[in-house]
Amino acid sequence: MMQTINNLFSLIAACTDRPVWLVGGAVRELLTGRTPADLDLAIDGSGLSLAQALAHTGNGTFVALDRERDTGRVVFADGITIDCATLRAADIVADLHLRDFTVNALALPLTAAITGDWRKLIDPLGGQADLAARQLRPCSAYSLIDDPLRVVRAGRFRATYQLMPTPELITAARSAAPFLPNVAIERIRDELLKLCDGLAAAAGLRLLDQVGALTIIFPELEAARTCEQPRIHFLPVLDHVLETVAALDWLIDNGEPPIAVQTHPNLSRNLPFADRYRELLQQRRGNVRRAALLKLAALLHDNAKPQTKVNHADGTVTFYGHQGIGAEVAATIGQRLRLSRSDTQYLVQIVREHMRPGQMRGGGQLTERGIARFFRDSEDAGPDILLHELADHLATRGPWLDPAAWNEHLRWMETMLEHYWNTPTPPLPPLIRGDMLMDALGIKPGPEVGRLLRLIREAQLAGEIHNAEEALALARTMQIPTTETDDPDHCGRRGKRI
C-alpha cells in the first residue's frame, strides 16, 4: 500500500507544475505510522483542474465536489480517493489557520512527500505536538462556528483516534452545537456513522452529549436523560444506552472498557464463534463497518422507555411495549438521517427484537422451534441482536455484574449460535400450499392462513413434521375457531374445530 501511495505522489507531480501540499488527515496518518487510505491535497491553482488531470492520467473517475470552491475528487479502481482543493487563503499557512483542529492543520509539500523529508513539515499551530499529547484543540475560537459539522467531527476524532478534547474545544463546541440544524443531514449522518465506527464510539457520543449536540441530533433521547429505571439497572436510560455502546466497543473492538469490566477486569471476552462475529461485523455498509450500525442501534434501543414508563402502586416499574414503539421511532430516525432502506430496517430489527434473547433465557429450556423462530423473526440480524443483548446485560448490571452469571450467559449464547452457524439448513420445500390448507380446513383467504402456514413452517424446520398429512394434522390442532355467520342455525355459535 505504501508503494501505491508513493506512486500516487509521482502521479500528482506529473500532472501539475503548480505548488501542491499534502494536507490534513493524510499527513496525520503518516506522522502516526499509518498508511492513509485517501489523500487530501491543497494546490496554489485549480483543484478541479488537478483532479481532472489525475483522473485522465491515472485512469480514475473525476467528481466535481464543489465547483464554487474549486474542489474536485478522483476515485481510483482500488478505492483510493484524492481530494484536490484550491487554497482558501493567500498562502498555505493562512489556509491551515482556517481548518478545524490543529492536528489537521498540517501540510507537507509534495516535493518533500516524495523524498520523505519531514523537516519541511508546515505546522503553524502546534498540531504535531497536540497529536503527540493525544489532545484535540480547535485552530481558533471560531473554527467550529464556521462549520458546525465540526462539532460531530470532534466526537469522531475522540472515538477514532482517542484524542482528548481541550477546554477550548469544549467551549467552542458548546457555542457551535445549536447551529447543527443548519447543516445538511447527510453530512451529519456521514460523520455520525464514522464516529460509531470508532474503537471508542461511546466516548465520542458522550462528548457530543457533553457539548449539547447529541439530543440536537436525536431529540427523541432528551426525555431519557432523567428517566430512572428499576433497581436491576444502575443507570438512567440515556446513560444506560451510552454504556451499552461502551460495552459493544469492548466486545467488538477491545475498546475502552465499560463499568462492569472496570469492576471485574478479568471478565471473559471470549465470544462464542468469535471468528464468525469478526467476519460479520467487519462487513462494509457503505463507508463503515456493520459494527457501526450496531452501535448506533444500541444508542437508540431504549428510546421509548420514557413514554412507556409506568410506576405501579406496589413500587414496581414497567416499560411494557417500549421495544415496539421504539422500533417505530428508530424507523423515523433512519429516514430522517437518509439511511438506506436496508440500514434503516437493520436498526428497526435490533430495537424491536432486543428484548427477545433475555426473555428466552428466562423462559426455561431452549427448544429447536424457539431458536428457529427467533432467527426467522430476526431476519439477518440474529447474531447482532444476541451480541447487543450481551452488551445490554453488561450495561444493566454494571458494577453489580456476577462473573459466574456472565459465563453462563456466554454458554447460552453459544447454544443459540451453534444452531445458527453450525446446524445444516438445506432448502426445504413447503409441505403444503395455502390453497390446499383452505380447501382442507374450509377456511377463507386471510391472516389465519398465513399464521397457520408460519406455524407449519416452524414445525418443519424444527424436524417435528415431515409431510402434508402431518402438516394438516398440526393445522387442525392450531386452528382458531370461527363464528359461522352464514348458517342461520348456527348464528352466534362458535364453529367447531375441524
Q: Where are the domains of the chain?
A: 2-132, 134-217, 221-422, 434-490
The answer, yes or no, to whether residue 65 has pLDDT greater than 50, is: yes
The answer, yes or no, to whether residue 484 has pLDDT greater than 50, is: no
The answer, yes or no, to whether residue 496 has pLDDT greater than 70, is: no
Average pLDDT score over residue span 274-280: 95
- What is the pLDDT, as a whole number, of residue 427? 61
Cα-based distances in Å from 144 to 137, 176, 206: 11, 6, 18
Quick one: pLDDT band at residue 263, thresholds 50, 70, 90?
Answer: very high
- What is the pLDDT, as a whole number, of residue 193? 98
- What is the pLDDT, as a whole number, of residue 368? 83
Strand partners, 43: 20, 86
Tens digit of each residue's pLDDT (9 = 90 or more) over 384-438: 999 999 999 999 999 999 999 999 999 999 999 998 998 765 567 889 999 999 9
Average pLDDT, the chain: 92
- What is the pLDDT, as a whole number, of residue 426? 55
Which grid cell is 138? 480547535
Is the sign of the CA dihedral 258, 260, 261, 265 positive or negative? positive
What's the number of CA atoms in the CB half-sphere (13 Å) around residue 364?
3
Q: For the chain, what is the HEC assignment?
A: CHHHHHHHHHHHHHHCCCCEEEECHHHHHHHCCCCCCCEEEEECCCHHHHHHHHHHHHCCEEEEEECCCCEEEEECCCCCEEEEEECCCCCHHHHHHCCCEHHHCCEEEHHHHHHCCHHHCECCCCHHHHHHCCEECECCCCHHHHCCHHHHHHHHHHHHHCCEECHHHHHHHHHHHHHHHHCCHHHHHHHHHHHHCCCCHHHHHHHHHHCCCHHHHCHHHHHHHHCCCCCCCCCCHHHHHHHHHHHHHHHHHCCCCCHHHHHCCCCCCCCCCHHHHHHHHCCEECCEEHHHHHHHHHHHCCCCHHHHCEECCCCCEECCCHHHHHHHHHHHHHHHCCCCHHHHHHHHHHHHHCCHHHHHHCCCCCCHHHHHHHHHHCHHHHHHHHHHHHHHHHHHHHHHCCHHHHHHHHHHHHHHHHHHHHCCCCCCCCCCCHHHHHHHHCCCCCHHHHHHHHHHHHHHHCCCCCCHHHHHHHHHHHCCCCECCCCHHHCCCECCCC
Which grid cell is 70? 474549486
Nearest-angstrom CA–CA distance, 170 and 213: 11
The answer, yes or no, to whether residue 20 has pLDDT greater than 80, is: yes
Nearest-angstrom CA–CA distance, 297 and 330: 8
Lowest pLDDT segment from 159-168, 338-347, 448-457: 448-457
The answer, yes or no, to whether residue 485 has pLDDT greater than 50, is: no
Quick one: pLDDT band at residue 10, thresholds 50, 70, 90?
Answer: very high
On whether the CB atoms of residues 51 and 84 are closer than 8 A, the answer is: yes
Cα-based distances in Å from 361 to 282, 373, 413: 28, 14, 9
The answer, yes or no, to whether residue 481 has pLDDT greater than 80, is: no
Lowest pLDDT segment from 137-146, 225-234, 288-297: 225-234
Average pLDDT score over residue span 256-285: 95
- What is the pLDDT, as a whole number, of residue 331? 97
Average pLDDT score over residue span 54-77: 95
Nearest-angstrom CA–CA distance, 85 and 291: 32
The answer, yes or no, to whether residue 216 has pLDDT greater than 80, is: yes
Nearest-angstrom CA–CA distance, 211 and 344: 27
Tens digit of each residue's pLDDT (9 = 90 or more) over 31-52: 988 888 899 999 999 999 999 9
How many percent of the chain have pLDDT more than 70? Answer: 95
Q: Which segment, 172-186, 224-238, 372-386, is predicted with the most confidence on average? A: 172-186
The answer, yes or no, to whether residue 491 has pLDDT greater than 70, is: no
CATH of domain 134-217: 1.10.110.30
Residues 6+ apart with CB under 8 A from 302: 224, 237, 240, 241, 319, 322, 326
Quick one: pLDDT band at residue 464, thresholds 50, 70, 90?
Answer: confident
Strands 81-86 and 39-43: parallel
Average pLDDT score over residue span 104-109: 98
How many percent of the chain have pLDDT more than 90? Answer: 79
- What is the pLDDT, as a whole number, of residue 234? 87
Long-range contacts of 86-92 (CB under 8 A, 24+ apart): 86/42, 86/43, 86/44, 86/45, 86/46, 86/47, 87/42, 87/43, 87/44, 91/44, 92/19, 92/21, 92/42, 92/44, 92/122
Average pLDDT score over residue span 95-117: 97
What's the number of CA atoms in the CB half-sphere (13 Å) around residue 386?
27
Lowest pLDDT segment from 363-372, 400-409, 466-475: 363-372
- Reported CATH class of domain 2-132: alpha beta
Lowest pLDDT segment from 181-190, 329-338, 453-462: 453-462
Residues 6+ apart with CB under 8 A from 16: 43, 45, 49, 50, 53
- What is the pLDDT, as a whole number, of residue 32? 87
Q: Which CATH number fits domain 221-422: 1.10.3470, 3.40.50, 1.10.3210, 1.10.10?
A: 1.10.3210
